[in-house]
A and B are shown apart, each in its own frame.
Chain A
């Protein structure tokens, strides 16, 4: 119908600007994230760099292809001689246990901080959004509770180390306990296996509960307030309201929090890495080693030998971590998507039912 002139005007396309505008993002992403990811995969298929001169140079270097050997070493109980490519496990037969230990630590450290954090944040979020409670200074409390999240994690770790130290020079907390006569000797807040982990749980919770609380608060504020009103008119107790209304309707944002926290927890580095006895620069408490610390240490630092760097193992650990993260992320996406779809289906069914009822009401005549 349109005239030739109109058609021509319609043809003026700005599509090229779309491409131009998103080009920088994808270029930089490709160079600085995607290509390094590929490099990490490549790294994991190659031998480990051995920089030291004599004695250790039997190992294969960065340039030798070793196939899946690095993965085998990390995931199975490798023995010397099992592999064609005389890698370097002669001196590092404990790599497998080390890696498994790191994975276990990561999970323990994450679970131990997430559960109290969620419980605390959820209860606080419910109380902060409860219109019936009259608590003065809510704004102030929110500001203070979020504060730990903005401080540099490195400073937090070193600060807590100074406070909780249990060595020759006890930290502030130990000195209080000693002075008050509550304990006879230092509580091992850092070097003790479970006490050290508990300290990291505490630090992580301390840092993150404010953030989680505010996320959950926004979720609760997004719930239709008339539901809460209806519940209170019907005489529901606050516990009932929480269980029957808040919790089910908060599920999407809770699962979001869970997934992001899980992905973040798998990458945990700053606190476990810096919260340690400072006797040697590269020493690490065994019970606080996470996978990210394992990757970092093997890439940059010798484990037992001077000057050795395990690029291949570091790469393989990264790839494993990447795959685990990816799986978790996809599971998270799947869960949240599925629920939405179910909700939509329910809504459609409900609508159909209502329409039917209406039809009946008016004797089959639809209005």
Chain B
């Protein structure tokens, strides 16, 4: 009997010990992955504080330099850089485009999902199926016709083709409808009707506020996606002056240039483009991590 007990005890100890070892090893592995995730950005930050010749001669170093402000100054003042990279305009344009597109995407996706969920009409389910199917048609496939058509109606080099299409965002409609299905009581619409509320007002003043959690998550994702969008602006605004380009376009111009060879300044420029979105992400990371699983967004 005592023998049995000792065997049982040692086995259990062994088990816990094994789990601890495994946890320890995994912790180290996660740390390595963390370093891999952050290393490029740390390299970027370190190099953005160093001088061009320093980087060229000494290569990489873990000691930050003291050239950050000089790099920044050159980035903003140097004639060559000024023509290719205008961070203030870039931020303004990207922010304008992303905010407008996000607003339209969220508002109209809610409207569409609400229309399909609340009302009974003949093509209801067919319309929903159509939305699910078109979710699979990617932008790249329609781009040639898109640009042809836009230049035909005179909208090439305008911001409208970047903003208006956001009204039709199938993925967000899908998400909103699933959310409404699970947590939007249709009775409330009936109650509003009895109280004499118009249909549109019911949507704006009652339904939208009730969908706040879903709206918040989707707004964050839509904003990030639009802010990061390079493909569509690059099709539409290709021939525009630098002043009117978005931030990702300016960064791509930086990478493709022969004149802009000051490494330190280039690193600074990339860092400027990355830092805001990283800060926003760190502030909202709770929502974002929670939202990825809910939405199953994009790509």
Q: Which residues of A contact B47 (CB under 8 A)?
A: 162, 172
Instruction: Give the residue of B147, B164, B230, B289 whose beta carbon is less than 8 angstroms from that of A142.
Output: B289
Cα distance A173–B282 when bound, in Å?
27
In the complex, whether B292 has a CB less than 8 A from a CB of chain A is yes
Report if A169-B168 is in contact (Cβ < 8 Å); known contacts: A25-B112, A162-B266, A179-B59: no
Cα distance A163–B109 when bound, in Å?
40
Pairwise interchain contact A296-B143, C-beta atoms closer than 8 A: yes
Instruction: Give the residue of A133, A151, A314 whose beta carbon is less than 8 angstroms from that of B278.
Output: A151
Q: Which residues of B contact A40 (CB under 8 A)?
A: 141-146, 148
Pairwise interchain contact A295-B140, C-beta atoms closer than 8 A: yes
Name the residue in B111, B127, B134, B293 with the highest tally of chain A Cβ atoms < 10 Å from its Cβ: B293
Cα distance A160–B40 when bound, in Å?
7
Q: Which of A161-212 contact B (CB under 8 A)?
A: 161-163, 169-170, 172-173, 175-176, 178-179, 206, 208, 210-211
Q: Which residues of B contact A311 (CB under 8 A)?
A: 144, 148
- The B interface is mostly helix, strand or loop, or mixed, namely helix
Pairwise interchain contact B270-A274, C-beta atoms closer than 8 A: no
Pairwise interchain contact A315-B145, C-beta atoms closer than 8 A: yes
Name the residue in A154, A179, A278, A315 with the highest tally of chain B Cβ atoms < 10 Å from its Cβ: A154
Instruction: Give the residue of B38, B111, B248, B294 whose beta carbon is less than 8 angstroms from that of A155.
Output: B248
Q: Which residues of B contact A325 (CB under 8 A)?
A: 136-138, 141
Instruction: Give the residue of B112, B136, B230 whose beta carbon is less than 8 angstroms from that of A152.
Output: B230
Chain A nearest CB from B75 CB (Å) reads 14
Cα distance A150–B296 when bound, in Å?
15
Cα distance A204–B257 when bound, in Å?
24
Binds B, one of A51-59, A79-87, A262-270, A340-348: A262-270
Chain B nearest CB from A80 CB (Å) reads 25
In the complex, whether A159 has a CB less than 8 A from a CB of chain B is yes
Q: Which residues of B contact A336 (CB under 8 A)?
A: none
- The A interface is mostly helix, strand or loop, or mixed, namely helix
In the complex, whether A365 has a CB less than 8 A from a CB of chain B is no
Name the residue in B30, B131, B238, B285 with the highest tally of chain A Cβ atoms < 10 Å from its Cβ: B30
Q: Which residues of B contact A176 (CB under 8 A)?
A: 59-60
Known: A152-B228, A179-B59, A214-B293. 20 other contacts (CB 8 A): A17-B119, A17-B199, A21-B116, A22-B111, A32-B161, A32-B164, A39-B145, A39-B149, A43-B145, A141-B30, A144-B37, A152-B247, A153-B230, A155-B270, A178-B59, A206-B37, A215-B293, A274-B255, A278-B257, A315-B144
19 contacts between A and B (CB under 8 A): A18-B116, A24-B108, A25-B112, A28-B164, A36-B145, A37-B137, A40-B144, A40-B146, A124-B33, A134-B20, A135-B26, A141-B34, A147-B278, A153-B230, A154-B252, A162-B44, A215-B293, A314-B144, A315-B144
Q: Please list the residues of chain A having a beta carbon within 8 angstroms of any beta carbon in chain B.
A: 14-22, 24-26, 28-29, 32-43, 124, 127, 132-137, 141-148, 150-155, 157-163, 169-170, 172-173, 175-176, 178-179, 206, 208, 210-211, 214-215, 217-218, 256, 260-261, 263-264, 266-267, 269-270, 274, 276, 278-281, 292, 295-296, 299-300, 311, 314-315, 318, 321-322, 325-326, 329
